[in-house]
Amino acid sequence: MGGSQVTADKIIGLLEEFGPAYFLLSQATRITPSEYRRLGPSIRDEKLLHAGEEIPIDADHAPRLNAAIEQIRRETALSPTVADAKAGPGAYAPQAGETSAEVNSNPGGATARAEVASEMKRAEREVRSGLDRYRRLAARRLEAHIRAALAAALHTLAGTTDDLCDDTRLDRVRR
């Protein structure tokens, strides 16, 4: 029962996070939760907004949805990162195989590393603050349905962090 309960919790978490449109789109296109999250602003009213058109998310439009998702995947894989866009044309970008000493010798590298370190510290503070709020909620006497909603929210967050780790190719940290 444990494995099926975990699966059920994950499905409920996805339903609560995304609504039914995720399941319709994932059936048609095999999209992952991580990919769906990145599409967030492009999905409204059970329609995928792509290339200036609204594609209804349903089985009848599966071929168009698949084509749109494949195009988005190709563009995402080839598009420059946000950091590259902020740096502007001609800015230094580390090359494949470059050693950390070579990257560190780049004068713009220190500024970029400091910005990333600052953002990471801020993100960690915010995550810890949010987790503290969940701990305080979990310590309270809650009705069963509220406790179940809290557990579902935590499962969804756990899935999101797993997706982020997968997206950044980090091994998941286990305690």
Mean per-residue pLDDT pooled into runs of 10, the chain (175 residues): 73 88 86 86 88 91 91 68 42 44 55 78 82 83 83 79 69 44
Q: How many CB atoms lie within 10 A of CB 20?
A: 10
pTM for this one? 0.43
User: What's the pLDDT at 104?
Assistant: 52
DSSP secondary structure letter of residue 79? S
Distance between CA 67 and CA 24 in Å, rounded? 15
User: What's the pLDDT at 54?
Assistant: 94
User: What's the pLDDT at 80?
Assistant: 42
**Selection from 1, 2, 47 nearest residue 20 by Cα:** 47
User: What's the pLDDT at 77?
Assistant: 63
User: What's the pLDDT at 93?
Assistant: 44
User: What's the pLDDT at 169?
Assistant: 59
User: What's the pLDDT at 48?
Assistant: 92
